[in-house]
Structure 1
C-alpha cells in the first residue's frame, strides 16, 4: 500500500463514519429514554417507544439540515457542539408542541421527559467529544489520513505545510509541492531548508488526482494571478480531488469573512460579525439568563454601594456616559459614580494612577470593578452583553479610530462588561498607543473566534482574575 492509497482510506470511509454517527445518535436517544423509564419505575409502553422513534427521526432530520454529519476533520468542536445543541433543542421543542396541541401532555411523566431531554443533550455532546479525540489519536499515528499537495511555492503555501505538520491529529498529510511554470510570483524551486519534496508541475498533480492517488489540493497562488488560478481550477474540475484556495496576505486579517450568494453572483463579506441568526439568539439568551441571575444576586450589594456613594460625596450615585454600542450607535452606559466630575463631552481625560478626581470610595470600586455592576441594566435592555469588547467614551473612539487600524471593527458586536482583552491584562488606562493597539488586537481576536464556550471561559477567568488588577484604578 503506497502513501496515497493508505491516505485514501479516510476519504472512502467518510460515508461510513457518517452512518456510525447516525446509529450512535439513535442509540443514545433511545437508551437514555429507556434508562429514565426504568429509573422511575415507569412501564415502557408503545407510546414511549413511538416517542423515542419520533425523536430519533426528527434529530437525524435536523442534523442533516444543519450538516451535522459532514466531515469535521478541520472544523472546531465548539461549532459541532453548537449544531448538536440546536438540533436536539429543535427536537425537544417539536415534541413539546406536538404534546401541547394534541392535548396528550398529561400522559407523559414530566420527570422522565425533563431528565431525558437534559441527559440526552449531555450524552450527545460527550460521545462526540470522545469519538473526536479517538479519531485525533488514530490520525496522529498515520491512520485515517488524507493525502494532500500544495500547488504554488509561496510563503503562504510553505506556512500552510508547516501548520499541517504541527497538527498531525487533523490527518492531512502534505506530501509535497507542485510548481506552476506560468506563475511570475511563485518560486520554481523549494528552499533548501524545506522538509518537503518537489513533486513536479501542475500536469503531474492533475494526473495523480485523476488516478485517485491525490485527494486534497491546496492552491496557494497570489490572488492577483487570476488567470493561472482559473486555469488550475478548470483542470481539476475533471477530477474528484477536493480543491482549496488559500488566499494571500490581504485576506488574513478579515473579520469573520463568509461567502454569500446573490442570484448568480458570489459575494465575499470582508468585515462581518459571527453573532447573527441562531448565534444572536443564543448570545441574547445567555445575556438574559446571566444578567438576570447576576442582578438578583448582587441587588443587596448594589443598594449598599448606591447608598454609600450618596452619603460620602455630593452628586448622583449612577453616572451615565455616552459610548458607542453595536454598529457604532450611541448608548448610555451606566456606572457607579467614582469621581467628583461627570465628564461626558468632546474631551475626556482618562483616569490615571493617583487621579485626584477619584473619590476614596470610588478608588475601591474601580479597583474591584464593582463600579461596572450597573451595566447589568444595559445588558437586560439589550444595549450591551455580559461578554464583549469594553465600550470607550465617544471622545476616545473618535481619537483612536484615526490612529489604530481596525479600531471601529470592535463595534461589530455589542460591547461587554468584561472581555477577552480585560482578562488578558489589557484594561484600565491606555496611556500609550501600543496599549490601545493591543487591546484592539485582543478584541478582534474575540470577535473572530466567538462562541458561547469562549464567553463562559472569559466569565470564569473574570471571576478569579479579571475583577481586580494592577491596571485597575
Structure 2
C-alpha cells in the first residue's frame, strides 16, 4: 500500500514537473502518451519491488537488506526502461526519468524507514512478532533465546524450546525460562511441539542431535505447514558481509572471512580521519573557544585535561579533553571507590561530585571530547573505534579483550551509540570486539551518523 502510494506520487510528480497538466503528450517515436507510460511504469515498479522480495517478513524492520532490495528493484527497472527505449527507439524524456527515479527511490527508502520505526515500536511492545520454537542443545537454546529477546527489532519471539537427545526431566530451560516441550529426536514429536505452541517458525541452533536426513524431512514438513525454518549456526557477533554461503554437493557451507585493516583500507580510513577531523576542528573552533572561556570562569585549573591512554598495539598517548572535573579530581579518586557503579575494570559514578557545573553540560552532549579531534589529526586516534582505555584497565584485560588494541581507539564507536556510560563492562567489550572483527568504511559512516543522534539526545553520558 505504502509502496504503491510513493510510486504513484513519484511518477505523477515527474509527469507534472516535466510536462505540466497536459494529458496528451506523446512519447517521441511512438503513438503512446506519457500518461499511459506513467501508468505502466508505476504498476511495473510496484511489481518489481515484490519480485525482489522487498516485502518479505524476514527482511522487514531489521538490517540493510530491505533497503538494498528496494534500491536494486528500482535501479533494475529504470535500467530496463533505458534498454527498451534504445532497442525500440523510444525517445523517453530524460527530464521525466531524471525526476521519477531519484524522487521515487528517496520516497521509497524514507517510507520504509518510517514504517520500520513504527514496526520497531510495536515489536518493543511484543506485537508484530514471529513466534519461534528454538530447537537445539540446552546451552545453545539459552544463548539464542537471550540474544533474540535483546534484539526485539528483529521480530522473533522465542516462546518454547525443544532439546532433542538431551536427558529428560527439565520442563523449563533455566537460563531463558522457556518451557521445554520435548526431547525426542523423531519428527512426529517435534511437529506435535510445534502444533502445541503454535509456532510461526522453528530455529535450529547449535548442538541439535538430529541426523541430517531428519532435518531434511523436517524442512519438508514445515514447508507444507507454512512454518519457517531458520538455521542458527554457532557463530556470534559476525557481520553479514563476512559471511558467504557456498553449495558443495548439496551442503550449504558457510565461509567466514577474516577482516583486515591493511593496505588500501588503512589508507582510506586514515585519509577520512585527517580530512574530517581537520574540517571539524576548523568549524568547531569558535565553539571550543567559548567552552574554554566557560571552563576558566567556572572553576580554577587548566582548560584542557591530559590523560595517558592506550592506543593501537598498546602504544600509550596523551589524550586531550576539556576539563569537566575539579583540578584535583585524580587525587580524590580514592575517596569514591565505595561508590563505583561500574563493572569489570571500569570506574563509573553516576553523580560524581568532582564534576563541575559546566562539566556536567559538556559531558551530557560530549562537548568535552572535542579536543580529541587534534588526537585524530595527529594519528593517535581515529574518528571511529573502540573506547580508548586507561593503562590500569589494560593491565586487567583478559587475553580476548586485548583484541580491542588491534585498531586505533575512536572518538566515537558502537559503545557511544549503544548506551554510552549506561553500558556494562561486558556489553562495552562485546561491542568493541564486534567493531574490531567487522570493520568497514561504510560501517564507520553509519556509526558517525548514529553518533549525531546519540549526542543530541544526551542520554547515557555522565
TM-score under structure 2 length normalisation:
0.53
2:215 match: 233
2:171 aligned to which of 190, 193, 197: 190
User: How far apart are residue 126 of structure 1 and its match?
Assistant: 1.5
Supply the distance in 2 between the matched residues of 1:435 and 1:207 (Cα, whole angstroms): 40
Structure 1 segment 56-205 matched on structure 2, within 5 A: 69=54, 71-73=56-58, 76-80=61-65, 82-83=67-68, 87=72, 117=102, 120-127=105-112, 129-130=114-115, 133=118, 149-152=133-136, 154=138, 156-157=140-141, 180=164, 183=165, 185-187=166-168, 190-191=171-172, 197-198=181-182, 202-204=186-188
Cα 1:199–1:456 change in 2 (3 A) is same
1:389 match: 386
Tell whether the 8 Å contact from 1:29 to 1:52 is kept in structure 2 after alignment.
no
- What do residues 359-382 of structure 1 show as CA deviations (whole Å, max 9, x unaligned)? xxxx99988466643544666799
Tell whether the 8 Å contact from 2:388 to 2:410 is kept in structure 1 after alignment.
yes
User: How far apart are residue 295 of structure 1 and its match?
Assistant: 3.5
Structure 1 segment 450-465 matched on structure 2, within 5 A: 455-463=448-456, 465=458
Structure 1 segment 193-342 matched on structure 2, within 5 A: 197-198=181-182, 202-204=186-188, 216-220=201-205, 222=207, 225=209, 228=210, 230-236=212-218, 238-239=220-221, 241=223, 242-247=228-233, 251-252=235-236, 254-256=237-239, 258-261=242-245, 264=248, 266-269=253-256, 294-301=280-287, 324-325=311-312, 328=313, 335=320
Tell whether the 8 Å contact from 1:176 to 1:196 is kept in structure 2 after alignment.
yes
Q: Does 1:440 align with 2:429?
A: yes
User: How far apart are residue 438 of structure 1 and its match?
Assistant: 6.3
Tell whether the 8 Å contact from 2:384 to 2:447 is kept in structure 1 after alignment.
no
2:330 match: 352
Tell whether the 8 Å contact from 1:302 to 1:373 is kept in structure 2 after alignment.
yes
1:404 match: 398
C-alpha RMSD over aligned residues: 6.8
Tell whether the 8 Å contact from 1:186 to 1:221 is kept in structure 2 after alignment.
no
Could you list the runs of 5+ residues in structure 1 that have no partner in the other structure?
Answer: 1-19, 99-106, 309-316, 339-349, 356-362, 428-433
- What do residues 167-214 of structure 1 show as CA deviations (whole Å, max 9, x unaligned)? 99988687866563xx2x4536634986575596523057779x9x98
Cα 1:217–1:157 change in 2 (3 A) is same
2:409 match: 415
Cα 1:73–1:262 change in 2 (3 A) is closer
Tell whether the 8 Å contact from 1:334 to 1:375 is kept in structure 2 after alignment.
yes
1:15 match: none
- What do residues 266-321 of structure 1 show as CA deviations (whole Å, max 9, x unaligned)? 35539769x99xx99x999997997576344213456789999xxxxxxxx99898
Supply the distance in 2 between the matched residues of 1:436 and 1:146 (Cα, whole angstroms): 31
Tell whether the 8 Å contact from 1:37 to 1:44 is kept in structure 2 after alignment.
no
Supply the distance in 1 between the matched residues of 2:9 and 2:272 (Cα, whole angstroms): 27
Q: Does 1:30 align with 2:14?
A: no
Supply the distance in 1 between the matched residues of 2:49 and 2:272 (Cα, whole angstroms): 23
Tell whether the 8 Å contact from 2:48 to 2:74 is kept in structure 1 after alignment.
no
Supply the distance in 2 between the matched residues of 1:45 and 1:378 (Cα, whole angstroms): 61
Supply the distance in 1 between the matched residues of 2:153 and 2:424 (Cα, whole angstroms): 36
Supply the distance in 2 between the matched residues of 1:61 and 1:374 (Cα, whole angstroms): 49
TM-score under structure 1 length normalisation:
0.52
Supply the distance in 2 between the matched residues of 1:63 and 1:288 (Cα, whole angstroms): 43
Tell whether the 8 Å contact from 1:323 to 1:392 is kept in structure 2 after alignment.
yes
User: How far apart are residue 324 of structure 1 and its match?
Assistant: 3.4
Supply the distance in 2 between the matched residues of 1:366 and 1:417 (Cα, whole angstroms): 18
Tell whether the 8 Å contact from 1:383 to 1:414 is kept in structure 2 after alignment.
yes
Supply the distance in 2 between the matched residues of 1:170 and 1:467 (Cα, whole angstroms): 24
**How many residue pairs get matched?**
390
Cα 1:353–1:444 change in 2 (3 A) is farther
Cα 1:83–1:196 change in 2 (3 A) is same
Cα 1:29–1:444 change in 2 (3 A) is farther
Structure 1 segment 369-380 matched on structure 2, within 5 A: 372-376=369-373
Cα 1:84–1:207 change in 2 (3 A) is closer
